[in-house]
Amino acid sequence: MNTKKHHSKPAFGKILGAISISLSLLAAGSGVARAEGQLRIAEQFGIVYLLLNIVRDQGLVEKHGKANGVDIKVEWVKLSGGNAINDALLSNNIDIAAAGVGPLLTIWDRTRGKQNVKGIASLGNFPTYLVTNNPKVKSIADFTDKDRIALPAVGVSVQARILQMAAAQQWGDEHYKRLDSISVALPHPDAAAAIIAGGTEISAHFGNPPFQDQELAENPNARLVLKSYDVLGGPASSTVLFTTESFRSNSPKTYGAFLDALDEAARFAGRHPEQAADTYLRVTGAKIDRDFLIKLVKNPDIEYTIKPQNTLGLAQFMHKVGAVKNRPASWQDYFFDDARISGGS
């Protein structure tokens, strides 16, 4: 398969530069009180953010805001990694964060009794794959100190937490951090480029779609090591949205309009996968073959829903190994109560 046709390879330095610029611009607004009708949303890379792409492309927050009597100005920020996302939220540089379940659980645990960060909704159920181009690696037990596993944020991202969960299943809970020492933080586009090209220190990537799928399609030496669904025991939310208690309380109309917009986007993606794929291409500017992308968007393992699913197992694992101090008894402990996400798990 032609790599140039299917894969966009932005330079690592350019991505870091863009992230740095975004953070610098955000810093100017740090500590400024937010009023109803203002909304700053941080997202990351991949199809797991498709619902946000649809919300942005169709102006759905603005639409639902007007229906509720408020004009909403939406700002979009692109960051990479749970650490950057959580830092931006806690420094009041963004209002809504989009990241994996791992970063949500970390920030929920650390802000209890303070900012009281909780989840808003899910961005859907997406399987994530650990892919390697090292022919000697058949399972995680085959990794050595010479390997490097790329993921969005070491020890914090949902990929990092699922890898720790897999390590605990393989070697016992006391060894859950066994693969942290060979993990490195790298944005998904650059990690995918490294796996496809080969010849770099990066020999594995725990990614998300479309990057993981491009790796398997474009490098004949690439192989699947594990799937997140297998580690978690079934389909699960991979990426979620979260915010502070104060934002939810102080901007109820903006918060409500955002949830309504997200719910509409989920229905649109489920009913119109080809149009949803076109939206992804239009909003992100990704250089990926349309037919290849449509096939990914139609993956039967993906469910476009805003209800969190199968998150509690990871949450309780993180408590068991000491990654979070507070043990959640239910998914509702770390998500705000709302009828639109009732029936989650």
- Pair (112, 137) in one structural domain: no
Q: What is the CATH number of the domain that holds 59?
A: 3.40.190.10
Of 198, 232, 266, the domain-final residue: 232
Mean pLDDT of 163-189: 96
The pLDDT value given to residue 22 = 44
- Pair (149, 112) in one structural domain: no
The pLDDT value given to residue 10 = 40
- Pair (215, 135) in one structural domain: yes
Closest CA to 156 of 133, 126, 180: 180
- Pair (254, 109) in one structural domain: yes
- Pair (50, 95) in one structural domain: yes
- pLDDT tens per residue, range 24-51: 444 434 444 567 899 999 998 899 999 9
The single-letter DSSP state of residue 266 is H
Of 232, 249, 270, the domain-final residue: 232
The pLDDT value given to residue 161 = 94
Closest CA to 339 of 284, 281, 263: 263
Which has more confidence, 9 or 78? 78
The pLDDT value given to residue 81 = 83
The pLDDT value given to residue 39 = 97
Closest CA to 149 of 215, 106, 195, 218: 195
The structure tokens 């797991």 sit at 48
DSSP 100-142: EHHHHHHHHHHTTTTT--EEEEE--B---EEEE--TT-SSGGG
Please state the domain count of the chain: 2
- Pair (105, 32) in one structural domain: yes
Q: By CB neighbour count within 10 A (0-12 exposed, 13-18 middle, 19+ buried), where does 105 fall?
A: buried
Closest CA to 210 of 232, 237, 191: 191
- Pair (104, 253) in one structural domain: yes
pLDDT at 23 over 90: no
| Cβ pair 263, 256 in contact under 8 A | no
Mean pLDDT of 311-326: 95
The pLDDT value given to residue 174 = 95
What domain range is 198 assigned to?
Answer: 129-232
pLDDT at 113 over 80: yes
